[in-house]
A = this chain, B = another copy of it.
Amino acid sequence: MLSSLQLATLAGVSQGTVDRALHGRPGIRPATRTRILALAEQHGYRPHPGAQELLHGRRLTIGALAPAVNLIFFMDLLSELKTALAEQDCRLSLTPYDGAAEFRDALAEFAARRVRGVFAIPPADRFPLPEHLTADMPLACVLNRCEVGNSLFLAPDERRAGRDAVTMLADRGHRQILHVTSRRDAFGIRERARGYTAEMKVRGLAPRILKPADDGALTVALAATDATALFCMNDEIALRCLRALARAGRRVPEEISVLGVDNSPTFIRLCPDLTTLAWPMRELTRQAAAWLTTGTVPAGPPPPLILVERGTIGDNPDPFCEGHR
């Protein structure tokens, strides 16, 4: 890649003339412009983004920070974000991180690079951050919150999702509803469990939460359970439950219903029949893009998760049986 000065030398003109040609500014002979443009095209000239940003304080790239742990949901989320940012004419530069220290370091790197803003999936909820990091650079967080100014946490109404899940399953006659979740800690995981527990209690049902260590434990637990419905924390867990139930010879949804959360496209491709609560990915990434590029704070309450009915939820097969408690 050559510089504008090299291009000027090649064309036998000064840097200023090259600039006029490249930017369509007046004060240049058409023949000169054509010649320079042809040369630029031929050599694939591009202005150095670093130099541009340095000079004009321009900020047209958005940094993204996601855990290197490959949760399929993250990828789909970032893919949506890319679409939302393209509408705002912004580039996306993604850095994967491993652990809290790397997260902080990568954030400082973005700050030093003077990116326009950062979209992040913090390593833990209520993650503390020095104020100076975000003083000049808005931060949009999802899944976990950051404790720092100039930042915005974008989330749907996760607690309501937990309540809605119970309500929906109870309306189908289920009373033994098991919440299968993860040992990981995150805002949404905790809130969904709280919503689930609250709604179960309101209905006089006993909340039961399963956090399987591995698929073996899951298979054992599901083979023995008297639950007629599983409310899974996300689609990945739902898929693992479906596989465990298949191994245990239990039919879905005839004998037992399974509900996931996320509706992440990649997962649904793997598991096209899964009924799930769709995380409003498009709306929230749009809100994030708006906040990062124009500083717009989303108005109104957090959006709900929407039920997408496919084939893994059925009525309680035996509504009058309370199960062997």
A265 CB to closest chain B CB (Å) equals 7
A222 CB to closest chain B CB (Å) equals 14
B47 with A50: CB separation less than 8 A? no
Q: How many residues of A contact B (CB 8 A)?
A: 54
| A246 interface residue (CB < 8 Å to B) | yes
| A266 interface residue (CB < 8 Å to B) | yes
| A113 interface residue (CB < 8 Å to B) | yes
A315 CB to closest chain B CB (Å) equals 20
| A109 interface residue (CB < 8 Å to B) | yes
Per the 8 Å Cβ criterion, residues 79-125 of A in contact with B are 79, 82, 91-96, 98, 108-109, 111-114
Give the most central of A44, A93, A95: most B CB within 10 Å.
A44
Which of chain B's residues has its CB closest to A272's CB? Answer: B215
Select which of B42, B46, B114 is within 8 A of A111 by beta carbon.
Answer: B46
Select which of B44, B130, B266 is within 8 A of A70 by beta carbon.
Answer: B266
Q: In the complex where A54-B54, A68-B79, A75-B70 touch, is A112 in contact with B48 (Cβ < 8 A)?
A: yes
A53 CB to closest chain B CB (Å) equals 6
Per the 8 Å Cβ criterion, residues 255-273 of A in contact with B are 265-266, 269-273
Instruction: Please encode chain A, from 17 to 48, with 1 for each CB lying within 8 Å of some chain B CB and 0 for all others.
Output: 00000000000000000000000001110111
Q: With a CB–CB cut-off of 8 A, which chain B residues contact A271?
A: 243
- A137 and B94 alpha carbons, distance in the complex (Å): 20
- A188 and B109 alpha carbons, distance in the complex (Å): 37
| A236 interface residue (CB < 8 Å to B) | yes
A103 CB to closest chain B CB (Å) equals 14
- A50 and B112 alpha carbons, distance in the complex (Å): 9
Instruction: Please encode chain A, from 236 to 280, with 1 for each CB lying within 8 Å of some chain B CB and 0 for all others.
Output: 100110110010000000000000000001100111110000000
Select which of B68, B92, B109, B236 is within 8 A of A270 by beta carbon.
Answer: B236
Q: With a CB–CB cut-off of 8 A, which chain B residues contact A91?
A: 95, 109
| A49 interface residue (CB < 8 Å to B) | yes
A64 CB to closest chain B CB (Å) equals 9
| A78 interface residue (CB < 8 Å to B) | yes
Which of chain B's residues has its CB closest to A97's CB? Answer: B82
- A215 and B310 alpha carbons, distance in the complex (Å): 14
- A185 and B124 alpha carbons, distance in the complex (Å): 40
Q: With a CB–CB cut-off of 8 A, which chain B residues contact A114?
A: 1, 48, 50
Q: With a CB–CB cut-off of 8 A, which chain B residues contact A70?
A: 72, 75-76, 79, 265-266
A41 CB to closest chain B CB (Å) equals 10
A to B CB contacts below 8 Å, 10 in the list: A1-B135, A50-B51, A50-B54, A70-B265, A79-B96, A82-B98, A93-B93, A94-B96, A236-B269, A243-B243
Given A48-B54, A72-B75, 7 more contacts at CB 8 Å?
Answer: A1-B132, A44-B108, A46-B111, A70-B75, A75-B75, A93-B93, A239-B270
